[in-house]
Structure 1
Amino acid sequence: MNLLDVRNLSIELLTNNKPILAVDKVSLTIKEGEVRGLVGESGSGKSLLAQAIMGVLDEKWHVDADRFHWRGNDLMRLSAEERKSIISNDVAMIFQEPMACLDPTATIGEQLEEAVDQQQFEGFFWKKRQQRKLEAINLLHKVGIKNHIQCLKSYPHQLTEALCQRVMIAMALAKKPLLLIADEPTAAMESTNQGQIFRLLASLNQLKNMSILLISHDLENVTHWTNTITVMYSGQFVEAGTTDQIFKQPFHPYTRALIDSSPTANIHIPTKSRLMTLPGSIPVLQHLPIGCRLGPRCPRAQRECVNSPKAKNHQGHQVSCHFSLKGSY
């Protein structure tokens, strides 16, 4: 069963002039117990898409979709407030910079206890206070923080970034979510800490059957932890399929370029050789190309690419490209 089924979701930035289409008809589905990667360069619209799903974008953004189903319920028939209320009960999100998301004026214990749902406790208020503290300690243990006494009385600036990220995951788990959205959860971390966070997320998926949307710009890293992958570029859908399909047999030139820029996929090339890269950089919102937005950088671009390509399905492997690499394999 699909937990989340979003079809043709578009996000416009409302400006004084004409609106800017930041995300252009992107579709995304997540099943129960699935770990899906959402991959693309910085500026691809990954975080914007996640925030639109959570309903936390402000008034300058306009969100529209052909379908927005959560557990089979059509949320597009509800108001934005009702939609946000339903999603916030079942979906939790951890952001890129945990230090910036935690309150610097409150201890970790105060913030974690505030995140715990008080409706699960019974008895007088002093009993609930003790139960809430025990639940906060239990959550810290779940995310691998053993020294809970020191952590609970610390302020965010007194902890390392890796510990703050674990605290953010603990606060997300306090809601017992069905879906956890992890937006670049290991950004700027050392490789050791990255592995610990990814293993923690994998264990939550296996033990709690929690679905996870893992957002990253690093395709190679995501392949070790995901079942399926969706690739985005400049706010447009590029390709989606199983992790093996995407990494071993990509159909889109952009996905191929991401893989070619990975050292693991190029172990055969001589030492100190340059990795393959696409020329140019991702376009800014004020100067988006018409049609396929990869066109100015794409090695296979032709005249037809000034028209937006439609997604094609090849036995569950979807690609949005006029001149895909499917015939090259």
Structure 2
Amino acid sequence: MKRILEVKNLTKVFKKANGESHTAVNGISFDLNEGEIFSFLGPNGAGKSTTINMVTTQLSPTAGTIKVDGEDIQSSPINARTKIGIVAQHNNLDRGLTAHENLLYHGRYFGLSKHESETRAEILLKDFGLYDWKDDYVKSFSGGMAQRLKIARAIMHKPAILFLDEPTTGLDPAYREILWEHVLRLNKENKTTVFLTTHYMEEPERFSDRVAIYNKGEIKAIGTIDELRKQIPSESLIYLKVDQTSELFSKQLSKLGTVKSLKVVDEKNYVIYPNESKKALTEILHLFEQSKTQLENIQLSSTTLDDIFIHLTTDEEEK
């Protein structure tokens, strides 16, 4: 299988104003195959956008190598850019051009003929509900309209790798489906590799071949969802919402015989990994009868990608 992206020991260190250093990306390595849909998931501030900025030639790494289609991007950045499409989080459209001009300029820049650029621009403007505003300047567009135009622009030249950095933020469900219709068509017909970051967990669950869980500048796990699911301590989970988490109550929970382990998600929420879910529910409810901590909600469920994400990106209380 052809490797379209190869990342080795990628590192980015930023210097703060006070002279201290902050390592945003800490020596990560991964490969993407041609035609793969790959999701890169992590909490805000984990370093996802910094990673995307480096692999798309927008930011120089402190250390490590990046190859696109076998070529080092630091040696051949212009060639790498011809193979890349990007939907960034920020609005990087040309506000002094119309929607139509934004797409035409992008298509011509990436080598499409005038006729092909015109034809593809017309199709994308119609599909993304922007045709009636094609001659309006982008500076007048709402956030949702600008996001749709960013997506249309990124796929104009049918890139070898499409980077989608939280692309569906601000889109209604109908346009989310239109986005994925186009992305999946490119993926199938052109073998376009897709690199996705998102907070909508149903998207990687529906579409991804592999998922990487990323936190604090490091890849915590990578694989198919079934492979990642094996890292969860139990097949079922118990969610607890309380009035206020506390160290004392956490210790009481962790000492229950039916609890393998637990995680404190935030000031009100726990995730429990039980040995036996039904017995664990009974023990937990009995504990609340003896505790000053008030129960607001309790829920038993099978493991999902959300659960995998929480398990790998939050701290665990040891029993």
TM superposition score normalised by structure 1: 0.66
Shift of 1:24: 0.8
* Aligned residue in 1 for 2:77: 84
Alignment of 1:40-59 (within 5 A): 40-57=42-59
Match of 2:230 among 249, 255, 262: 249
Specify which of 164, 186, 190 is matched with residue 208 of structure 1: 190
Residue equivalent to 2:147: 165
Pair 1:154-2:136 in alignment? yes
User: Paired residue for 1:109, among 100, 115, 139?
Assistant: 100
Partner residue of 1:94?
87
Which residue identity lines up with residue 82 of structure 2 in the other structure?
A: N
Match of 1:126 in 2: none
Q: Which residue is equivalent to 1:64?
A: 63
Report SS of the residue matched to 1:44: coil
Task: Report the CA distance between 1:106 and its aligned residue.
Answer: 1.7
Query: Which amino acid letter does the alignment assign opposite residue 89 of structure 1?
Result: T
Cα distance in 2 for residues equivalent to 1:74 and 1:301 = 44
Report the Cα distance in structure 1 between the residues aligned to 2:126 and 2:175, rounded to whole angstroms: 12
Aligned residue in 2 for 1:132: 114
Counterparts of 1:118 and 1:14 in 2: how far apart (Å)? 35
TM score, norm. by length of structure 2: 0.67
Gaps of 5+ in 2: 238-262, 272-277, 282-295, 301-310
More strand by share: 2
Distance in 2 separating the partners of 1:228 and 1:152? 37
Deviates more, 1:188-197 or 1:140-149: 140-149
Query: Which protein shows a greater Rg?
Result: 2
SS class of match (1:150): helix
Contact 1:239 1:251 in 2 (8 A): no
Residue 120 of structure 1, CA deviation: 4.7
2:306: which partner in 1? none
- Structure 1 contact 108–151 (Cα < 8 Å) conserved: yes
C-alpha deviation, 1:140, in angstroms: 4.1
Offset at residue 166 of structure 1 (A): 3.2
The correspondence of residues 260-271 of structure 1 with structure 2, limited to 5 A, is none
Superposed CA RMSD in Å reads 3.6
Q: What is the DSSP-based 3-state SS (H/G/I as helix, E as strand, rest coil) of the residue aligned with 2:206?
A: coil
Structure 1: 5+ residue stretches without partners:
122-130, 263-267, 277-293, 303-329
- CA distance in 2: counterparts of 1:42 and 1:30, whole angstroms: 23
Q: 1:63 is matched by which residue type in structure 2?
A: T
Q: Is the 8 A contact 1:52 1:63 kept in 2?
A: no
Matched-pair contact (CA < 8 Å) for 2:85–2:159: yes
- SS of the aligned residue for 2:164 comes to strand
User: Identity, % of aligned pairs?
Assistant: 18
**Is 1:94–1:183's contact at 8 Å kept on the other side of the alignment?**
yes
Structure-2 change in CA distance of 1:101 and 1:199 (3 Å): same
Provide, for residues 54-83 of structure 1, a one-character-per-residue CA deviation record: whole Å limited to 9, x for no partner. 1212xxx64311x423223345xxxx4x44
Rounded Cα–Cα distance in structure 1 between residues aligned with 2:165 and 2:110: 28
Where does residue 22 of structure 1 map in the other structure?
24
User: Could you tell me how far 1:173 is from its partner in structure 2?
Assistant: 2.5
